[in-house]
Structure 1
Amino acid sequence: MVKLVLLHKADSIYEDEPDVVYDFPLSYLKAVKEAVGDWIVYYEPVKAGPRGYFAVAKIQTVIPKPGTDGRFLAMIEPGTFLPFDREVPRLLEGRPMEMSLTEPDGTPKRGGAVQLAVRRLPEADFARIVNVGLPQELEQIEASRYDPTGRELHETLDIFERPVVERLIRRPYREVAFRRKVREAYGYRCAMSGLMLRNGGGRPEVQAAHIRPVESHGSDSVRNGLALSGTLHWMFDRGLISVADDCETILVSHNKVPGDVVERLLVPDHKLVKPDHRRNAPHPDNLRWHRENVFGRALTGDAVPWD
């Protein structure tokens, strides 16, 4: 097995869904097959200034792309995709993050390997990139963000250094990373009420909801998340509310939710408040899964929060 860097461009002819599938040509088939079962890092260049390395994932298998000669699909293992907390630039202090892109004097190479859409990534480079994008101390950073005294930190966290891959598969760490990215994407504003509430210490009250749960093969992509207030998160998880196939109209199970509750909790036009950047908008497939598998199902006797 081998780790890779995979180039992704949002406007590319290749039909990538980074948390689900990577579309690539025959010329990279050997390298991608070698990476099956191992981790990859996504990289996206942007003309206005490189976005850089932005996520990790694990390749589960490689298949021919149906109906397209000479193209293949690397299927991403469910539950492995994780966006970086901070995007990592190609150059750090003037030096490339990848040794293969570095001249002997430490300066960046030009052309050649720099242009490759699939690049082999040594273990040391992988660890270096991940440690910048997903810091070892991310849980501590979040726990002490609104509590400088660190009380919550000492009460809830085991503080010791974890290997990179162990950190990437550890659920509590992934939940923190997911929550930070989703809340940031929506500007700490609830996507269904439009409210941006903070408690007395400045902590945002908005939560990060998975549209398709992880246990149902949902990913930790921001596109599988919604920033929701506590009550609306509860309602969304229990199928009392959802989002229509236009990806913006909020659906309500009116036979289970009183009209006055709807008017108090939702934005007046019943339209989803969109993320700050279009690339973070909820994916239609995730919203469809929620409508088909969660919305409108019978409650199991839970006490509703508005009684």
Structure 2
Amino acid sequence: MTEEEAAPGAHDKRYRFRNKYLNIVRDALGDWIIYYQPAPRAGTRVIGSTGYFATARITSIRPLANSPEYSEASLEQYLELEEAVPFSITDLQFENKFYFEKSMVQSDGRMNSHTIQQQVRALSNEEYTKIERAGFRKNWINEEARVMAAPPYGFAEDPPESVERDRILTSRAFRDRVFRQLVGKAYNMRCAMTGISMQAPDGSFEIECAHIKPIEHFGPDSINNGMALFQSVHWMFDNGLISIGPDYKILKSSRCNEPKIGVLINESGKITLPKNSSHFPHPEFLRYHREHIFLP
């Protein structure tokens, strides 16, 4: 099943949809879905790349009392793909297009423009798997190899694919690797608070990727909930000694008594933001950190 992004905060834990799609959403209850950014209609402008960009799991569905034509799905385990996956890829050998969803192709081989604009579409297990593999690339292959090294099933018995999917997509190690790649790339491997990027001879960077709203507080693994930080700055941020204002100004706690800390932060007094504005820290996550983590 796929879903259209409902709002700028695609990490939202709730998704509202028209009841004409209710049977499709019910069939996916407890299973994973794919978010997508639809192709723009003629004469309209779209922000960001079209295609598939994240996955999450539906945990419950309820009717909306004030909107009888709509229902709402609750979502958990939101995770953005390493890279957006286009709706189709070109097979250079045969010089034709391959669509991840069969319903997108008309009998004459052209894209079905009506289908691609639908708010919710049903995906087969095979279609979801292909998008999933394309979206997570090497991280998925590496995680499968690690899991299969010590299978919990009987001798020579392959675990059900749905079980493997759950295990990988909910693995903290897997999610942390994907999150680090996404956030590190967004910030160009540069610490948001110091503006410094340090690379070792082996190619590694002295950088960690912090969750603004902690995962222990149900913060999502999304670029908008992440920042690239030096290890010591990350520690200070997680412990409430520094935070970020609504204007991206770096805030210092009164309990942070080390005067030399001020030398570390950007001269502007504000964080270094990603080049892509759609990757900026989400205001709600920043507000949560100020109100629940930061020590004034």
Match of 1:113 in 2: 115
Match of 1:41 in 2: 34
- 1:209-220 aligned at under 5 Å gives the runs 209-220=210-221
Aligned equivalent of 1:30, options 11, 19, 23: 23
Q: Is the 8 A contact 2:139 2:177 kept in 1?
A: no
Match of 1:101 in 2: 104
Q: Distance in 2 between matches of 1:135 and 1:70?
A: 39
Q: Is the 8 A contact 2:105 2:112 kept in 1?
A: no
Match of 2:282 in 1: 283
2:25 partner SS = helix
Change in Cα spacing, 1:137 to 1:26, as seen in structure 2 (3 Å) is closer
Q: Distance in 2 between matches of 1:50 and 1:249?
A: 29
1:271 aligns with 2:270: yes
Q: CA deviation at 1:244?
A: 1.5
Match of 1:89 in 2: 86
Aligned equivalent of 1:134, options 133, 136, 144: 136
Q: Is the 8 A contact 2:17 2:71 kept in 1?
A: yes
Match of 2:246 in 1: 245
Amino acid at match of 1:254: S
TM-score, normalising length from structure 2? 0.82
1:205 partner SS = coil
Q: Is the 8 A contact 1:225 1:282 kept in 2?
A: yes
Q: Distance in 1 between matches of 2:255 and 2:228?
A: 25
- 1:1-307 aligned at under 5 Å gives the runs 4-8=1-5, 14-15=6-7, 17-20=9-12, 21-47=14-40, 50-65=49-64, 67-68=66-67, 70-77=69-76, 80-93=77-90, 94-103=97-106, 107-135=109-137, 137=139, 140=142, 158=146, 160=148, 163-246=164-247, 248-262=248-262, 264-296=263-295
Match of 2:158 in 1: none
Aligned-residue Cα RMSD (Å) equals: 2.6
Amino acid at match of 2:79: L
Q: Is the 8 A contact 1:241 1:252 kept in 2?
A: yes
Q: Is the 8 A contact 2:255 2:295 kept in 1?
A: no
Q: Is the 8 A contact 1:60 1:74 kept in 2?
A: yes
Change in Cα spacing, 1:137 to 1:225, as seen in structure 2 (3 Å) is closer
1:61-116 deviation line (CA, Å, top 9, x unaligned): 23345755533332212xx11111121110022111012223467x3442342331
TM-score, normalising length from structure 1? 0.79
Structure 1, gaps ≥5 residues long? 9-13, 142-156, 298-307
Amino acid at match of 1:208: C
Q: Is the 8 A contact 2:208 2:231 kept in 1?
A: yes
Q: Is the 8 A contact 1:15 1:22 kept in 2?
A: no
Structure 1 stretch 176-185 or stretch 272-281: which is displaced more? 272-281
2:224 partner SS = helix
